[in-house]
Chains A and B, each alone.
Chain A
Amino acid sequence: MKIKFDELCIQEAESFYKTINDELSIIENNPLILDFSNIEKIDLSAIQIIIALKRYCKLSDIPLSLINLESSQVKESIKTFNLYTELGLKP
Chain B
Amino acid sequence: MSEELQFFLEDMDEQLSIMESSLLDISDVNLEEIDKEKINNIFRAMHTMKGNAGLFGYKVIVDFAHLAESLLEEIRNNRINITKELIELFLLINDHSKHLIQSTIKDEKLDFKQQEQHNLLLTQLNKYLNIEEKEEQLSVQIIEKDTSTDVIKYSISIKLEKDFFKSGMDMLSIVKYLDAIGNVLDTKLIIDEIPSFYELEPLDAYIKLNLIYETSEDKSEIVDAFEFVQEDIKLIINVIEEVVIKKQVDEKTEVNIVKEATKVIEKQKPIQKKQFINNLSLKVDSTKVDKLINQMSELVIANAKILEHIKKSKNIELHEAVEDMSDILAEVRNGVMNIRMVQVSDSFSKLRRIVSEATKKSDKEISFEIIGGETELDKTVIEKISDPLVHMLRNSVDHGIESPQDRINKGKEAKGKIILKAYHDSGTIVIEISDDGAGINKDKILKKAIERKLIKNSEKLRDKEIYDLIFVPGFSTAQEISNISGRGVGMDVVKRNIEELRGIISIDSKLDIGTTIKIRLPLTLAIIDGFLIEASNSKYIIPIDSIQECLEFTSIAQEEMKNNGYITLRSNILPILDVAKHFKEEELEKKRKNIVVVKFGTQRVGLKVDELFGEFQTVIKPLGRLFRNVSDISGGTLLGNGEIALILDIQKLIEHKISNKDISYGN
Q: Which of A21, A45, A52, A55 contacts B165 (CB 8 A)?
A: A45
Distance in angstroms from B235 CB to nearest chain A CB is 16
Asked if B207 and A44 make an inter-chain contact with CB atoms under 8 angstroms apart, the answer reads yes
Q: Give the docked Cα–Cα distance between A13 and B170 (Å).
A: 14
Interface: B160 (CB within 8 A): yes
Q: Give the docked Cα–Cα distance between A37 and B39 (Å).
A: 48
Distance in angstroms from B302 CB to nearest chain A CB is 34
Asked if B200 and A81 make an inter-chain contact with CB atoms under 8 angstroms apart, the answer reads no
Some 13 contacts from A to B, beta carbons below 8 A apart, are: A10-B203, A16-B202, A41-B2, A44-B165, A45-B165, A47-B189, A48-B191, A55-B194, A55-B197, A76-B172, A80-B175, A82-B187, A83-B189
Asked if A44 and B160 make an inter-chain contact with CB atoms under 8 angstroms apart, the answer reads yes
Please list the residues of chain A having a beta carbon within 8 angstroms of any beta carbon in chain B.
9-10, 13-14, 16-17, 21, 24, 41, 43-45, 47-49, 51-53, 55-56, 76-77, 80-83, 86
Interface residues of B in 190-214 (CB under 8 A from A): 191, 194-198, 200, 202-203, 205-207, 209
Number of interface residues of B (CB under 8 A): 28
Please list the residues of chain B having a beta carbon within 8 angstroms of any beta carbon in chain A.
2, 160, 165-166, 168, 170-172, 175-176, 184, 186-189, 191, 194-198, 200, 202-203, 205-207, 209
Can you name 15 extra interface pairs (CB under 8 A) apart from A53-B197, A80-B184? A10-B168, A10-B203, A13-B203, A16-B202, A21-B198, A24-B197, A44-B160, A52-B195, A55-B194, A80-B175, A81-B175, A81-B187, A81-B189, A82-B187, A82-B189
A44 surroundings in chain B (CB, below 8 A): 160, 165, 171-172, 205, 207
A83 surroundings in chain B (CB, below 8 A): 189
Q: Give the docked Cα–Cα distance between A26 and B187 (Å).
A: 36
B194 surroundings in chain A (CB, below 8 A): 48, 51-52, 55
Residue among B184, B197, B206 having the largest count of chain A Cβ atoms under 10 Å: B197
Asked if B207 and A43 make an inter-chain contact with CB atoms under 8 angstroms apart, the answer reads no
Asked if B171 and A43 make an inter-chain contact with CB atoms under 8 angstroms apart, the answer reads yes
B184 surroundings in chain A (CB, below 8 A): 80
Asked if B170 and A14 make an inter-chain contact with CB atoms under 8 angstroms apart, the answer reads no
Tell me the dominant secondary structure on chain A's binding face: helix
Q: Give the docked Cα–Cα distance between A77 and B194 (Å).
A: 19
Q: Which residue of A lies closest to B209 (CB)?
A: A81
Asked if A48 and B197 make an inter-chain contact with CB atoms under 8 angstroms apart, the answer reads no
Question: A41-B2, A44-B160, A82-B186 are known contacts. Are A52 and B175 too (CB-CB below 8 A)?
Answer: no
Asked if A43 and B170 make an inter-chain contact with CB atoms under 8 angstroms apart, the answer reads yes
Q: Which of B166, B188, B198 contacts A10 (CB 8 A)?
A: B166
Residue among A48, A53, A56 having the largest count of chain B Cβ atoms under 10 Å: A48
A81 surroundings in chain B (CB, below 8 A): 172, 175, 187, 189, 209
Q: Give the docked Cα–Cα distance between A43 and B207 (Å).
A: 12
Q: Give the docked Cα–Cα distance between A10 and B197 (Å).
A: 17
Asked if A86 and B191 make an inter-chain contact with CB atoms under 8 angstroms apart, the answer reads yes
Distance in angstroms from B179 CB to nearest chain A CB is 8
Distance in angstroms from A44 CB to nearest chain B CB is 6
The 8 closest A-B pairs by CB, nearest first: A56-B197, A17-B202, A13-B202, A10-B165, A52-B197, A82-B187, A45-B165, A52-B200
Question: A44-B171, A51-B194 are known contacts. Are A17 and B205 too (CB-CB below 8 A)?
Answer: no
Asked if A80 and B187 make an inter-chain contact with CB atoms under 8 angstroms apart, the answer reads yes
Distance in angstroms from A6 CB to nearest chain B CB is 11
Distance in angstroms from B161 CB to nearest chain A CB is 13
B191 surroundings in chain A (CB, below 8 A): 48, 51, 86
Distance in angstroms from A55 CB to nearest chain B CB is 7
Q: Give the docked Cα–Cα distance between A83 and B170 (Å).
A: 16
Asked if A48 and B172 make an inter-chain contact with CB atoms under 8 angstroms apart, the answer reads no
B172 surroundings in chain A (CB, below 8 A): 43-44, 76-77, 80-81
B200 surroundings in chain A (CB, below 8 A): 17, 48-49, 52
Q: Which of A41, A49, A55 contacts B202 (CB 8 A)?
A: A49
A47 surroundings in chain B (CB, below 8 A): 189, 207
Q: Which residue of A lies closest to B189 (CB)?
A: A81
Question: A44-B165, A52-B197 are known contacts. Are A86 and B189 too (CB-CB below 8 A)?
Answer: yes
Asked if A48 and B207 make an inter-chain contact with CB atoms under 8 angstroms apart, the answer reads yes
Distance in angstroms from B155 CB to nearest chain A CB is 15
